[in-house]
Amino acid sequence: MKTFSSLANPEYETQPFTDFSRVTPRTDISKLNFNWRENDLRERDRTKHVHRLHPYLGKFIPQLVEIFLRKFAKRAVCDPFSGSGTTIVEATTLGLDAVGVDVSTFNCLLAKVKTDKYDVHALEVEAQKVLSAFDLAAEGLFADAHGNGSKQASEYLRLWYHPLSLRELLLFRKIIGGLRYEDLFKVVLCRAARSARLAPHHELDNPDEPVLGPYACRKHFRTCRPTVGAAKFVRRYLLDTLERVRAYAELRRDVHVCIKHGDARQIELPAFDTIVTSPPYVGLIDYHEQHRYAYELLGLPRNDDWEIGPAKGGASLNAKERYRAGIIEVFRNCAESLAKGGNVVVVVGDRHDLYRDMHKDCGFKLMDRFERHVNRRTGRRNSDFFESILVWRR
């Protein structure tokens, strides 16, 4: 396997493929170069329209999903590890029915909000009313910026937020309650809450502890101070969300979408002809904990025990065996609803070689395996690595 250094734009033997709409069922995907550099696939393209309604660790590139949906999908697609909904969003823009499953309540909320059909005008009117009410009420909070915060807030919220930030977040939560597009506003609330935490700017993904004074910021390369106030984030993200929903609404086709909250190892699924998914990587991410602020603010139930291969479980031999067994259970369950001859596309970082011959245990045939060089990432996760693209068939 060819190795590369951690460069934003390394040289490849062939030009990375970017003419995504040209892919058809007849396209020979073995001839396509999936090693996109920053110049080939910019961040704003990788996070187009609703794909960036909320930051999410472990999200795969929508253009990669698009390629395999255009190649294999006929009428309906399933993602048993739907996460933030990347596969489901792409399916709706290609005229495919879609079903997504996830163990995280917040992930399901996010995927639902991304893929909903909206009356854009009604949404804009409601959003303007929300923003006006928030601005008016928030003015009265500034005078009490150093209050003790809300007594009803959890210990976690009181620990991770400046009193003013917490009051503004709770105010927004109260204003949006019961509205037609409450779920969308909840995502705005959580996105603002992520940014408003007392977390170093360079550790927004996984902050270790709150910062209470000036600190050396490794993102801005200067001394930064703890965040005070959430209102600016609420306003900014609400307007950004409206813009992204408008763009997506022009692309979304009239298809059926089903987002199921549950364990994909045993949940009942409708019929579909294609699976495109990116399972969790063993011992890498705790999918509930990364959005703890959302669970605390919204009072969502957590199902951490349902996670397969969480970071807190490590990557010991036993952990890897449990992980492999769990993934196999998922695909066996999915196989019952997958059309005969249907294709399964699995995008995964398989550095532990856990997917070798897994298709046999799931009742599938291995059609192809590609290795993709991931050479450009954002934030502190900027080292390069390889991920595998497995193509199985029932």
Give a three-class secondary structure readout of the chain.
CCCCCCCCCCCCCCCCCCCHHHCCCCCCHHHCCCCCCCCCCCHHHHCCHHHHCCCCCCCCCHHHHHHHHHHHCCCEEEECCCCCCHHHHHHHHCCCEEEEEECCHHHHHHHHHHHCCCCHHHHHHHHHHHHHHHHHHHHHHHCCCCCCCCCCCCHHHHHHCCHHHHHHHHHHHHHHCCCCCHHHHHHHHHHHHHHHCCCCHHHCCCCCCCCCCCEEECCCCEEECCCCCCHHHHHHHHHHHHHHHHHHHCCCCCCCEEEEECCCCCCCCCCEEEEEECCCCCCCCCCCHHHHHHHHHHCCCCCHHHCCCCHHHCCCHHHHHHHHHHHHHHHHHHHCCEEEEEEEEEEECCCCCCCCCHHHHHCCEEEEEEEEEECCCCCCCCCCEEEEEEEEEC
Q: What parts of the chain have a pLDDT lower than 50? A: 1-6, 145-148, 379-380
Set out the domains of the chain in order of their start, with CATH numbers: 20-116+253-290+301-393 (3.40.50.150), 120-248 (no CATH)
Q: How many CB atoms lie within 10 A of CB 10?
A: 15
**Structure confidence at residue 3 (pLDDT):** 47
**Structure confidence at residue 228 (pLDDT):** 95
Amino acid at 272: F
pLDDT, tens only, 107-165: 999 999 999 999 999 999 999 999 999 999 987 765 554 444 566 799 999 999 999 99
Contact 3, 375 (CB under 8 A): no
pLDDT, tens only, 50-89: 999 999 988 889 999 999 999 999 999 999 999 999 999 9
